[in-house]
Structure 1
Amino acid sequence: MDLYYSPGSAPCRAVLMTAQCVGIDLNKKLLNLLAGDHMKPDFLKINPQHTIPTLVDNDFVLWESRAIMIYLVEQYAKTDSLYSKCPETRARINQRLYFDMDLTQAFGKYFYGPMMKKTPFDPEARKHLEKQLEMLNKLLGGNNFAIGDSLTLADLSLLATVTTLDVASTAKSANVDIKKYPNIKKWYDYMKAVTPGYKENYEGSLELKKFLD
């Protein structure tokens, strides 16, 4: 099973952590986005939308990280602990996954310009990001897990995003600190200790440092 990915990508790292939790090995195929690997004809034949992560499982091709995560669990997991079959629990997991999409977008609007184009940080974009972090802090509510009493896909997707935020916030003039949100800090510290694949997730996030001041 092939996974086209880049270690600096939070969505890619969320898929890698999911695979570790499920207990499957992925054949990782590194794409250099800055070199345009994702726009080469061979990759476009696989994924005309030219996005990562992209999973190839025999003749089945899938992109979008959260769709891949759900597929890996439903196809290969021995239990439903990561993605409960209970409709209410699954709906709550889905809600957090959709929320994480908003958080990722808020991160991108604030950080990508300064990181990739060396433009100044936008105070309005920071306010929006902080509102999303305040909401995450509220949703976590001091619990160890995003949903219920065990690790789910919601945790894995959010963990990849928050790890990226943690690393990116070291940039000069970023003025974002996830540690000031007590529920996020408590959850994040717990995730570091219990999540399979966290070390690889963190090491991958350090790729962002080459773009930071």
Structure 2
Amino acid sequence: MDLYYLPLVGACRSVLMVGKALGLEFNKKIINTLEGEQLNPDFIKINPQHSIPTLVDNGFTIWESRAILVYLVEKYGKDDSLYPKDIQKQAVINQRLYFDMSLMYPTLANYYYKAFANGQFGSEEDYKKVQETFGFLNTFLDGQDYVAGDQYSVADIAILANVSNFDVMGFDIGKYPNVARWYDLVKKITPGWEENWAGALDVKQKIEQKQNSAK
């Protein structure tokens, strides 16, 4: 099973963590998007959107990390613990995955990842969007251990990958007590956390290098 990825990218790390939870081994193939490797014609033949992560499983190709996560747990899960068969539980997990895609990652990119371009973080308005997003997540976690209810799921792993990037960049998660409690818990129980954190540290290092070179 080939995984085209870059450890720097939180979405790629979420796939690695789910893979570890399922006991899967990937044939890892680095695509350095910072160097434009995603535009290589050979990769575009695999994924015309030239995005990572991209998974090729015995001739079947799928991209978009959250779609990959659901595919993996549906096909390779020994049980339905990470993605329950109950339709309503699935619906909540899916909503949290879409929340991660439509708010968690965009607010991360719009505020912190702008520094990859010019060494400068986003605007005050961008930062307010980050705070608003964490407020939503804090509300989701009110009275429950995990983001989609009382059961640990792929949604926790997906959101963990992005929250770790906010954490490494110095965002004060402690201002959101439910998120802080959840974060402490899922770090301990998620297989591959250490590799994920190493990738997050790499994000911080590369942004700091860009900031230093922009001075």
Contact map agreement 2:13 2:161 (CA 8 A) in 1: yes
What is the Cα deviation at residue 150 of structure 1?
2.9
3-state SS of the aligned residue for 2:112? helix
TM superposition shift of 1:58: 1.5
CA distance in 2, matches of 1:137, 1:164: 17
Name whichever of 188-197 and 145-154 sits farther off. 145-154
Task: Provide the rounded CA distance (Å) in 1 between the counterparts of 2:29 and 2:130.
Answer: 32
CA RMSD in angstroms, aligned pairs only: 1.2
The match for 2:2 is 2
Q: Partner residue of 1:41?
A: 41
Q: In the aligned structure 2, how far is the partner of 1:132 from the partner of 1:119? A: 21
Q: Distance in 2 between matches of 1:158 and 1:4?
A: 20
Q: 2:175 aligns with which of 154, 157, 180?
A: 180
1:83-112 deviation per Cα after TM superposition (whole angstroms, max 9, x unaligned)? 010011000101111111111111111112
Q: SS of the counterpart of 2:161?
A: helix
| Structure 2: unaligned runs, 5 residues or longer | none
Shift of 1:147: 2.4
Equivalent residue for 1:70? 70
Residue 41 of structure 1 deviates from its aligned partner by: 1.0
Q: 5+ residue gaps in structure 1?
A: 170-175
- Tell me, yes or no, if structure 1 residue 204 matches structure 2 residue 199: yes
CA distance in 2, matches of 1:120, 1:166: 15
Q: 1:72 is aligned with what amino acid?
A: L
- How far is the alpha carbon of 1:131 from its aligned partner? 0.4
Partner of 1:173: none
- Structure 1 Cα separation of the partners of residues 132 and 59 of structure 2: 42
Post-superposition shift, 1:121?
A: 3.2
Displacement of 1:141? 1.1
| Alignment coverage as a number of residue pairs | 207
- Provide the secondary structure at the position in 2 that maps to 1:3: strand
